[in-house]
Amino acid sequence: MFPEILWAVPPAAVSVPVGAAVWRNWSPASWNYGPGLVGNAARVHLTWADVSSGCGLTKTRTRLGKGGRRQVERKPKLSRFRPTGYGFRVRVRLHDGQTPGDYAQALTRLAHSWRVHAVRVRRTGPGWVELVATSRDPLVNLGAASAFDGELLTVQLGRLETGEPWVVDFRQVPHWLDIGATQSGKSTDVNALIKGLSPQPVALAGLDLKGGVELTPYEDRISKLATTRDECGGLLDDLIGILTDRMALCRTHRMRNVWKLPEDVREQHAMPIVVFVDEVAELYLMADKSEKDVIAKTSTTLLRIAQLGRAFAVYLVVCGQRVGSDLGPGVTALRSQLSGRICHRVNDAETAKMALGDLAPDSLEAALSIPAEMPGVAVTVGADGRWHRARSFLTTEEEAEQAAREFAHLAPSWDALTTASGAPSSISDAELADFLDGAA
């Protein structure tokens, strides 16, 4: 009668009767395979007509019968009921004229109807959305961080609300935008990244216009740290030079990116570089008109690094309290190149919209509902293009500083990085431009 219910459970549980008794005894505390899951699936399907009607998700249509015309409500179709570690997820087919926003407005009512902690909505493709229900908030108590033995350029920040590890993988998502108010968790993210990247064969660089107070504790592991506007301009120019040299190196070997180079060549001449930009707004704020040209050049250079970095192993982590269009068009252009997003608690809806609105507009309600008493909670968009609620493990400044000191010997000198191309200097600008067009 309900094939979706039977498909959602293992064969050993199929024999459990799906009926009124199971339905009445259903409890949101029971999410394991077996009777609890069957009752859960039964409740969702058996009550869906009333629930969808009460939430305003049905569509009225006219039918002709013996008694003449009558109005009937047609419920949306449910599909793919699946259990998760903290609840369940189910796909819903949209009626014509419906959007994921219609479901976003009904999430609170759906949560009450299904007796769960929360329901989230995700886009899954044209005409469909996925509703993800959690029986309790799995981000309240994360517990201790589990051991993580990731590959090069991967760091575990915390845990997703699905129970899976929250991992930043620069090979998959090269550039990240991390936005949040004071005490929301941005610094913890940076601490975790510093701690996780320090033991790896990776160079670190930083732009810190807050006088260096944020990144100076880790300078033992940072190859280059810029703390003034002029120093930031010089560091960015150096990065453009490194990118240009790596373009020439790849062209010499007839490869489109550094990851296709022979391993010994890549390790010697193209070490990955992760660049931390702390409080990005400071790069764009203008004290007087004399700084206009400097800011414009900085904006253009940073944008170019974001556009080219993936192919040539230069990655950005851009942090700030806000990233609004009021800072200028350069910020908006840069944001479009930062495909990884982390939005902690913010002070206004516009900041959340700027952080997530272009990639996951249906996540804004979740981002704006992050409570102040849960630092580290964020909405993130990563490699799969979906948004998730997540929370970072508490990584203290002392832990990150200790890792920076312990692995200081792995930090290459900046001079070595800027002269390590191994590419012939005879390649012309025109040849590099041709290669650049192909790589882009």
- The answer to whether 105 is annotated as binding is no
Summarised one tens digit per residue, pLDDT across range 168-204 is 999 999 999 999 998 999 999 999 999 999 999 999 9
All structural domains of the chain: 3-134 (3.30.980), 154-439 (3.40.50.300)
Q: Are 59 and 95 in contact (CB under 8 A)?
A: yes
Helix (H/G/I), strand (E/B), else coil: 140: coil
Residue 13 burial (CB < 10 Å; 0-12/13-18/19+)?
A: middle
- The answer to whether 297 is annotated as binding is no
Look at residue 332 and tell me whether its pLDDT is greater than 70. Answer: yes
Rounded Cα–Cα distance for residues 132 and 130 (Å): 6
Q: Are 163 and 141 in contact (CB under 8 A)?
A: no
pLDDT at 433: 55
Q: What does DSSP assign to residue 145?
A: P
- The answer to whether 184 is annotated as binding is yes
User: What is the reported pTM?
Assistant: 0.77
What is 300-348 written as a DSSP string?
Answer: HHHHHHHHHTTTTTEEEEEEES---GGG-HHHHHHHHH--EEEE---SS
Say how many CA atoms lie within 13 Å of 289 toward its Cβ.
Answer: 0
Q: How many other C-beta atoms are found inside a 10 Å radius of the C-beta of residue 122?
A: 20
pLDDT at 35: 46
- The answer to whether 216 is annotated as binding is no
- The answer to whether 180 is annotated as binding is yes
Q: How many other C-beta atoms are found inside a 10 Å radius of the C-beta of residue 25?
A: 11
Q: What would the two tokens of residue 10 be?
A: 């293992």
pLDDT at 437: 55
- The answer to whether 71 is annotated as binding is no
Q: Which helix (H) or strand (E) holds 182?
A: none
pLDDT band at 22; cut points 50, 70, 90: very low
Query: Which among 422, 382, 393, 410 has a CA at the least distance from the CA of 204?
Result: 410
Specify the range with the lowest mean pLDDT, choosing from 139-143, 150-154, 422-426.
422-426
